[in-house]
Structure 1
């Protein structure tokens, strides 16, 4: 365009400056609009902050228990930790939370009990999640494959293997048994130990996530992009790994977070019934089991581990609920 008479010539440097500034403003606006809504919803949810802080504190205390605990959790203070009648002493200058029936520092037992309970809870939940996701995804995606058997000099024989029916009937069979009674029976037969308790809890709690994943994959496998991938000859395992599993991420994360609370409570129940992690290892459920006889005379020894269990379950449940809300598209406002 030409310059009108009497108008001063344009300064090219100013023009460049204005363009760069406009681009910078547009970039900032685009960045603000393109910020992941997932994190925006999380930051606005008070339950996320309460749950996250609680989980971080509990896991931190469990990890650094040897540094935080004032005493060895198994050391018995026969003179200072028991009164003249042989009963545990209450909180004092030497023992912040008192002692147990053997004269052991109760604060140290609680801190090391967090390590045991969280190890079992997180380990069993991760194992159960892996088993359930694998069973549910394979059952829904495999369907009823046909295996071709070729005979020499004869015709090929096709054998249909109902993978979906087999895996889901196994899931139904495990679901038909009461989880707690099945776990008690397995531990009673095989003997209690920390690794065994993790395996037993995982073996009875994987069915829930398997059912959820199965229902989700049944819907995904009929979508257009899955049908198109199959039409062009993409291998089934590749489709499952690269196209199906990413759509299950939100379900897995939420269920795994909420599942930790369930497994911690399950381990505490087993320990309370005397078939959990064997002593002298400290666990919150085991501490309640050991001191149930002192509940009337010294309720502290039962209430404190109960509060620890409640705080852990509440923290993971709040965090899981916040993640579920953040993954829900209806909450992206």
Structure 2
């Protein structure tokens, strides 16, 4: 009888992750100056998006043809105006809302699909082959072309852009989660949970999934950069935000006709995209190195 009690309590006694492990990860991350810079930029972007009604100086869609194509540092328009007299700063500020919102929705939807497929494929051998062949099928399409195909079927809108980018994100996420599940499910505490009759759902949700959080967080952070860049690219092609919506990609598309006379119409939103993508990429790299220091070269 004592042996049975010991086996029953073993899953509870074994903790897959120590409580202070995430604290150590944060400390390693904060020692990475480039990752901290990325984090600061992201915080500023989020603050700008949340405070857009306060910090924007003009209505982003209001036209004033008498003040069209004003250069940067003009009175009342410190980033100038576009060919319709709309304030560029205000459009950049409100454009951050769209870029971050579409990116977050796309990444969350992609994680829901990818994590689910990765968990099922990694845990059940019978489903693994079917799920991985589906993932390979998605991988066979270039990402941007797959997104364009989905938008062509669903129609042109920012909602459909988020859906298209999320579907594009599923296969990468599924493979990452599957790889983690394959290694975690062979651990002793998982075997102990099975031996005491724990259900597969409980094991996957309560004991395997929490130990996949680290690679999932890294993937989500770096995928945000891809989602924001893809949103801008699709809007530039006319498949995302439609005029007069203030979106960075569409601002570049509309400003390219005035590249020589008013280069700020293209350069300013281009810098906004560059800084945001840079920030998420370096933060993702920093998180990866903080979670697994052995990956540093």
Q: TM-score when scaled to structure 1?
A: 0.79
Match of 1:110 in 2: 92
- Which consecutive unaligned segments of at least 5 residues does structure 2 have? 1-19
Q: 1:191 to 1:319 in 2, by over 3 A?
A: same
Q: Is the 1:138–1:164 contact (alpha carbons within 8 Å) kept by the matching residues of 2?
A: yes
> Matches of 2:186 and 2:22 in 1, distance apart?
31
- Which consecutive unaligned segments of at least 5 residues does structure 1 have? 1-32, 83-87, 145-162
**Residues 1:309 and 2:283 are matched in the alignment:** no
Q: Is the 1:41–1:331 contact (alpha carbons within 8 Å) kept by the matching residues of 2?
A: no
> Matches of 1:117 and 1:36 in 2, distance apart?
30
| Structure with a larger share of its residues in helix | 2
Deviates more, 1:286-295 or 1:185-194: 185-194
**Residues 1:125 and 2:107 are matched in the alignment:** yes
Q: Is the 1:186–1:200 contact (alpha carbons within 8 Å) kept by the matching residues of 2?
A: yes
Q: 1:310 to 1:231 in 2, by over 3 A?
A: same
How far did 1:34 drift? 9.5
> Matches of 1:298 and 1:215 in 2, distance apart?
50
Backbone CA RMSD of aligned residues: 1.8
Match of 1:149 in 2: none
How far did 1:43 drift? 2.4
Match of 1:295 in 2: 259
> Matches of 2:31 and 2:145 in 1, distance apart?
41
Match of 1:51 in 2: 38
> Matches of 2:214 and 2:76 in 1, distance apart?
48
Match of 1:148 in 2: none
Match of 2:59 in 1: 72
> Matches of 2:167 and 2:35 in 1, distance apart?
30
- The superposition leaves residues 127-163 of structure 1 with CA deviations (integer Å, 9 ceiling, x where unpaired) of 111211111111111222xxxxxxxxxxxxxxxxxx2
Q: 1:329 to 1:242 in 2, by over 3 A?
A: farther
Aligned length: 276
How far did 1:301 drift? 0.7
How far did 1:278 drift? 1.9
Please state whether the residue corresponding to 1:291 is helix, strand or coil: helix
**Residues 1:281 and 2:245 are matched in the alignment:** yes
> Matches of 2:265 and 2:60 in 1, distance apart?
15
Match of 2:168 in 1: 204
Q: 1:36 to 1:184 in 2, by over 3 A?
A: closer
> Matches of 2:23 and 2:77 in 1, distance apart?
48
Give runs of aligned pairs for residues 38-187 of structure 1, distance below 5 A: 38-79=25-66, 81-82=67-68, 88-91=69-72, 92-144=74-126, 163-187=127-151
> Matches of 2:242 and 2:102 in 1, distance apart?
13
Q: TM-score when scaled to structure 2?
A: 0.88
Match of 2:231 in 1: 267
Give runs of aligned pairs for residues 30-45 of structure 1, distance below 5 A: 36-45=23-32
> Matches of 2:259 and 2:282 in 1, distance apart?
30
Q: Is the 1:50–1:315 contact (alpha carbons within 8 Å) kept by the matching residues of 2?
A: yes
> Matches of 1:254 and 1:311 in 2, distance apart?
19
Give runs of aligned pairs for residues 15-26 of structure 1, distance below 5 A: none
